[in-house]
Structure 1
Amino acid sequence: MYEEDDYLMLSGIQHFYFCRRQWSLIHVEQQWQDNRWTAEGQIVHEKADNPYIKEKRKNHFLSRAMPVSSPSLGLAGILDVVEFSKNETGISVEGKKGKWQPTIVEFKRGKEKKDNRDIVQLVAQAMCLEETLDIQVPYAYLYYHQTNKKVKISISDELKHEVHDLTEQMHEIYNQRITTEAEFHKNCKECSLIDICMPRLTKKRVNINSYMYNHLYEDLI
């Protein structure tokens, strides 16, 4: 169990899964820089993160910008949208009659990924919600704005184990204040931190004269 002062940002697990150097720059060095993709993401989340927008129907209501935390993971953050549906196996909610089952809906700017970066973040959110409300969350949803697609994700034990492993590594690196080495790949050019990270320069030691020559040559062609 982690103390509250040791909690890390819940949203960081997606960065950590995708690129540990990116996570280190943001969460260890406290560096950030926006680009087109981060700006679009903020617009997509603007409505979802607004706690003053209320939506309810007879057997459903939405809670926006819900704070959650997990002592076992050492994470804390804000959930985009939690939909509560009337269900006798659910929990009591202040000001509401009956029992209610919560389901997370996490909003994403783009489309489904080939890897699990969005999924591990969603599972970590579900685990935090389970500890916050003391209830089991069997599934949750990822909503992709670009494709207008809502994807159901089962919160399996296997995924929970993966999240536990990732968060342990996050805490270890954070406590040691390590900035991990760069791993240059095709997605680096779209990262908002590329000018801070400089992956082609920091991935390995290079002869500075060769590096300058190569980049000057690239600018000429």
Structure 2
Amino acid sequence: MTSSEPDSGWLRISAIQHYAYCPRQAYLLSDGVWADNHLTVQGTAGHERVDAGGADRRRGVVVHHRVPLVSHELRLHGIADAVEQHRDGRLLPVEHKRGRGAGDLLPSLAQVVAQAICLEEMLDVEVPEVALYITKERRRDVYRTEEHRSRVVSLVEEARLRLQEEIPPNFASRLCQSCSVRNACQPRGAEWR
């Protein structure tokens, strides 16, 4: 990708995570709506090290932080929290999340698998696994990229189409209670119980 901004057909990798969580949330964020809540502030604090950029070594593994990514094929761009480069040359993108996103890992998995797809295209390598690090639990789980690839590619195409038009609110208490943009989404008194 050149230094110029991608055209409107491009999506941010993070938009895929938001879209998988709630299409309305992704729509509002793409429209410039943003609000912090206690969860986003905690998430930012949990990203302090990875957001600093650079690289370090841990047990023989080089960990690159804040890695720019692009896929021209899927028209995606964004930043990986961390990409581990193992001694055997294997790359492992690691997405840091505060928690498990209302109990559903699909949004976070979609984001990190999209990162793997970008790395594969950029470097002409296979990225067989991805990892999620849940900061609240200090737990890291590894997942096979191939098990989630087709779902992520479908999500990218679905999001690209749907985010071109307004997505109406759809109250889902499990998701809405933790959403930082809930007041912008449903300001007229939806029940937040």
- After TM superposition, the score normalised by the length of structure 2 is 0.87
Deviation at 1:115, TM superposition (A): 4.6
Q: Would you say the 8 A contact 1:110–1:146 is kept in 2?
A: yes
Deviation at 1:173, TM superposition (A): 2.3
Q: Is residue 48 of structure 2 the alignment partner of residue 46 of structure 1?
A: yes
Structure 2 CA distance for aligned equivalents of residues 111 and 23 of structure 1: 18
Q: Is residue 43 of structure 2 the alignment partner of residue 55 of structure 1?
A: no
2:176 maps to what in 1? 188
Which amino acid is the alignment partner of residue 152 of structure 1? V
Q: Is residue 107 of structure 2 the alignment partner of residue 117 of structure 1?
A: yes
Deviates more, 1:77-86 or 1:190-199: 190-199
1:19 maps to what in 2? 22
State the secondary structure of the residue aligned to 1:73. coil
Task: Give the alignment's Cα RMSD to 1 decimal.
Answer: 2.3
**1:115-144: CA deviations, max 9, x gaps?**
511111111111011111111000011000
Structure 1 CA distance for aligned equivalents of residues 157 and 129 of structure 2: 23
2:79 maps to what in 1? 78
Q: Would you say the 8 A contact 1:4–1:71 is kept in 2?
A: no
Give 5+ residue unaligned stretches, structure 2.
none
State the secondary structure of the residue aligned to 1:147. coil
Q: Would you say the 8 A contact 1:139–1:153 is kept in 2?
A: yes
1:165 maps to what in 2? 154
1:69 maps to what in 2? 70
Deviation at 1:18, TM superposition (A): 1.1
State the secondary structure of the residue aligned to 2:47. helix
Which amino acid is the alignment partner of residue 150 of structure 2? H
Structure 2 CA distance for aligned equivalents of residues 57 and 33 of structure 1: 35
State the secondary structure of the residue aligned to 1:11. helix
Deviation at 1:111, TM superposition (A): 3.5
**If you compute each CA radius of gyration, which structure gives the higher value, 1 or 2?**
1
Aligned length: 185
Identity percentage over the alignment?
32
Which amino acid is the alignment partner of residue 167 of structure 1? V
Q: Would you say the 8 A contact 1:49–1:81 is kept in 2?
A: no
Higher helix share: 1
Which amino acid is the alignment partner of residue 184 of structure 1? F
**1:1-48: CA deviations, max 9, x gaps?**
xx9423211111111011101100111x21111111111111111211
Give 5+ residue unaligned stretches, structure 1.
88-99, 202-210
Deviation at 1:57, TM superposition (A): 5.2
Q: Is residue 87 of structure 2 the alignment partner of residue 101 of structure 1?
A: no
Deviates more, 1:159-168 or 1:57-66: 57-66
1:128 maps to what in 2? 118
* Higher RCO (CA-CA < 8 Å; seq separation 6+): 2
Deviation at 1:56, TM superposition (A): 1.8
Structure 1 CA distance for aligned equivalents of residues 35 and 6 of structure 2: 28
Which amino acid is the alignment partner of residue 184 of structure 2? I
